[in-house]
Amino acid sequence: MNLRPEFGLLAVMGSSDIRSVLENWPYDPGHITVRKIVGEDGRVKVQMRLDLGLLQFELDGRPDAKRPHGYESLLHYHLDRLGEYRRVNGSDVGFELTPSECRELRGECSMYYHRYLSLFVLEEFDRVKRDTERNLNVLDLCRRYGAEERDRLVLQQFRPYLLMMNTRARVLQAVKAKRWPQALHDVEEGIARIGEFFAEFGQKKAARRCAELKLLRRLRRKIHRQLPVDPVKKLQRELSAAVGQERYEDAARIRDRIAAMKDRRRKEASSAKLGEGDDS
């Protein structure tokens, strides 16, 4: 599925009938079309176009702007409940989430899913990280405290996807800043976390078919192509070529250059350690 952002701001006011809005913003099958608008309250919001209408989200807080039990979200409410339970009882032993509470949390996750998908299209990567991490926290909470096994496990199927989206947001943010080593670190970490998930559930064979892992590995290959070449590794490749072609004088000169470069690096590392010792 292609992602298609539509930037700009649109003031939405007047009648409750949204037909004119939909007519001026055609649905495009096969694409995720989103945009930012200014609501009647003057705040910027996000809209996602659907075949029969649209979804609208707040940029921050709960996507529907509600505050269940006076909290930012149901997750915040239950985390506060958990903290109070621990304070009173000295541990979390005995704390549970009922099936209805888990069901409500799953419904809330769905709102955040649609929002982070829209934010990804708009390249709001900080907010994508925030919302995906938030939903991962719901998975952890239900898995640990759900009263019924189904509630503890049903959301776990979405963990690879959430980890993949969280990783992509972090990686693409680093890529935009041309911080290639950081991008590589982030994608490697995401791949490892998804791999750990499959290993924990004894599903290593499923990991080989995992679409999320395949996507991140493709992303890793793209990042590798952008990384600056290590001069020592470049010389080592030249050395191998020279030896293979029996250019032994060239090979000797390249060996000397490699040795000098490694020696310089050792001295620089030693000086850096001495400097750290002086600071302390």
Q: Rounded CA gap, 171 and 221, in Å?
A: 13
pTM for the whole thing?
Answer: 0.77
pLDDT digits (tens, 9 = 90+) for 211-264: 999 999 999 999 988 877 677 777 788 889 989 998 988 889 989 888 988 888
Burial letters for 53-62: b for 16+ Cβ neighbours within 10 Å, e otherwise? ebbbbbbeeb
Give CA–CA dist 228/224, Å, rounded.
Answer: 9
Q: How many CB atoms lie within 10 A of CB 84?
A: 11
What distance lies between CA 75 and its chain's CA centroid? 19
Beta strand extents in the chain (DSSP E only):
2-5, 31-38, 44-50, 53-58
What confidence score (pLDDT) does residue 137 get? 98
Instruction: Compute the half-sphere exposure of residue 257: CA atoms within 13 Å on the CB side of its CA.
Output: 15
**Which of 268, 258, 267, 6 is closest to 122 using CA atoms?**
6
Digit-coded pLDDT (tens) for 201-225: 888 888 889 999 999 999 999 998 8
Q: 145: which 2 tokens?
A: 């405290």
Quick one: pLDDT at residue 55? 94
Helix (H, G, I), strand (E, B) or coil at 97: strand
Tokens of 114: 């649609």
Rounded to whole angstroms, the Cα distance separating 219 from 186 reads 11
Cα–Cα distance list, 204 to 49, 153, 187 (Å): 38, 18, 19
Residues of the chain with pLDDT under 70: 1-15, 229, 272-280
Residues 6+ apart with CB under 8 A from 101: 74, 78
Q: Does domain 60-226 have CATH number 1.25.40?
A: yes
> Which of these, 163, 104, 167, 111, lies nearest to 137 by C-alpha position?
163
Those residues whose C-beta lies under 8 Å from the C-beta of residue 210, and which sit 6 or more positions away, are 160, 194, 198
Residue 265 confidence (pLDDT): 77
- Check if the beta carbon of residue 242 is closer than 8 Å to that of residue 272: no
Question: What single-letter DSSP state applies at residue 11?
Answer: B
Per the CB < 8 A criterion, the answer to whether 2 and 30 are in contact is: yes
Q: Is the distance from CB of 70 to CB of 119 less than 8 angstroms? A: no
Q: What does the block give as tokens for 248?
A: 């032994």
Q: How far is residue 210's CA from residue 260's CA, in Å, rounded to a whole number?
A: 45
Helices assigned H by DSSP within 9-54: 19-23
pLDDT of residue 277: 52
For the chain, the domains span: 1-59, 60-226, 232-279
Give bridge partners of residue 4 from the DSSP assignment.
33
